[in-house]
Amino acid sequence: MIPSLILVLALLSAVAYAQSPTAGEVDGVYRDAYGLYLDLHQNPELSAHETQTAAKLAARLRGLGYDVTEHVGGTGIVALLKNGAGPTIMLRTELDALPVEEKTGLAYASKVRAKDDAGREVPVMHACGHDLHMASLVGTAAIMAHSKQTWHGTLMLVGQPAEETISGAKTMIADGLFTRFPKPDAGVALHVSNLLPAGQVGIAPGTYNSNADSLRVTIYGKGGHGASPQTTIDPIVIAARTILALQTIASREVKPGEMAVVTVGYIHAGTKNNIIPDEAEMGLTVRSYKLDVRKQVLAAIARMVKAEAEAAGAPREPSVEHYESTDSVYNDPALAQRLRVPLEAAVGQEHVITMEPIAPSEDYAYFVEQGIPSLYFSLGGADPAKFAEARASGTALPSNHSPLFAPDVEPALRTGIAAEAAVLRNLLQGT
């Protein structure tokens, strides 16, 4: 009786150890992970051009004993660590940065400029925190490689290119991510933001984020001399009216309380002050949580764009090109419930927050749609003192994609590593 009780207690403590990386384990990998963070932050690369970034990750993971394949779906990498029989579990990071000029004033701020796909020179910054995700993944990879006695199965690390253009997940899948490599039984990813203070993680069971649709609207008019508007049909005026009309979709057509965002992010028209151009182009991003709201909003945009052009007597119906879209990421509720336990053990019960869905989108949705139950969770990035100050004064800290986005790296990175390692060990117990 007593020996078997001791055995049970020993097993329980082994499981607890197995799931929660110790402070010593995180300390052991932190310096290297932070060094990688600084390097990646100062050398960001645009979507689908992450060659140096991918090579750095591949080299580190090979050094840890992972079997690494490069150039999957462009610059993507897949790193496998096989450790006996058991499930295959995926951990994914993005590789890409954004065309944003860093204005954080940090000593390690990016000064990189690069040519974008249109051939324009643009500043480049890891303004979405993907550098922190990569550093966290490599830290976690090291812990997992050094503690193979705590888990069994196959760990599959994925470095995905071109998340910001909602294309990298698709290109990796098309290049055999789940056919050339084992298809994961479950997947995990995280995203840092200033919505939570560093040290915390957030779980949104079910819908994690929004459906996203990118639209390019071209309004056709009739060009001419700026001094003779009566001889023209001015597409800039039509665009201006259209933009204002679009603001009534969320405020007047969608049921109050439902999530709907229509943002016109750019308008390109004209070359000179005294020329009325013959067309105007607008770029829109549309966000929603529910499928019926998504359909309603897209239909309303098409209707209003067409009607405003018609009202102005435009010579041609505007074109509405739906050029990028992604569905919302769905967090498997049973998986979210299961993984709350190791997350609480790793970062403290009071530091695991249940969150509402967030508006920014993610092409991780394509992995979920391939039949991979997943947990995509939030990682706190805000300096806790600034977070408390902002909350008290009712202001918002810089969001992802801001030139001022600057996570509190040390506590965020340590928490990311501890959380990922805990979750992977739980999933790789093979139960």
- CB atoms under 10 Å from CB of 43, counted, come to 16
Report in angstroms how near the CB of residue 191 gets to Zn ion at its nearest: 6
> Considering beta carbons, is residue 56 or 92 the nearer one to Zn ion?
92
CB of residue 400 vs Zn ion: minimum separation in angstroms?
Answer: 5
Please report how close the Cβ of residue 362 comes to Zn ion at its closest, in angstroms.
Answer: 7
Nearer of residues 66 and 364 to Zn ion, judged by Cβ: 364
Select 128 or 375, whichever has its Cβ closest to Zn ion.
128
As a whole number of angstroms, the distance between CA 122 and CA 328 comes to 29
Shortest separation between residue 127's beta carbon and Zn ion, angstroms: 7
Tokens standing for residue 212: 């996203």
Rounded to an integer, what distance in angstroms lies between the CA atom of residue 130 and that of residue 163? 10
Of 345 and 359, the one with the shorter C-beta distance to Zn ion is: 359
Residue 193 beta carbon to Zn ion: minimum distance, rounded to whole angstroms: 9
Report in angstroms how near the CB of residue 163 gets to Zn ion at its nearest. Answer: 6
Q: How far apart are CA 305 and CA 286, in angstroms?
A: 14
The least CB distance from residue 386 to Zn ion, in Å, is 21
Complex with Zn ion: residue 312 or 359, whichever CB lies closer: 359
Contacts of 197 (CB under 8 A, 6+ apart): 380, 382, 383, 384, 387, 388, 408
- Residue with tokens 């003192």, as numbered in its chain: 385
Of the two residues 79 and 128, which places its CB atom closer to Zn ion in the complex?
A: 128
* Paired sense of beta strands 153-160 and 76-83, if any: antiparallel
Of the two residues 128 and 132, which places its CB atom closer to Zn ion in the complex? 128
Helix (H, G, I), strand (E, B) or coil at 190: strand
- Report the first-to-last Cα separation within the chain, whole angstroms: 26
Whether 333 contacts 205, CB under 8 Å: yes
CA nearest neighbour of 329 among 141, 196, 194, 187: 187
Chain position whose Cβ is nearest to Zn ion: 128
Applying CB under 5 A, which residues contact Zn ion? 128
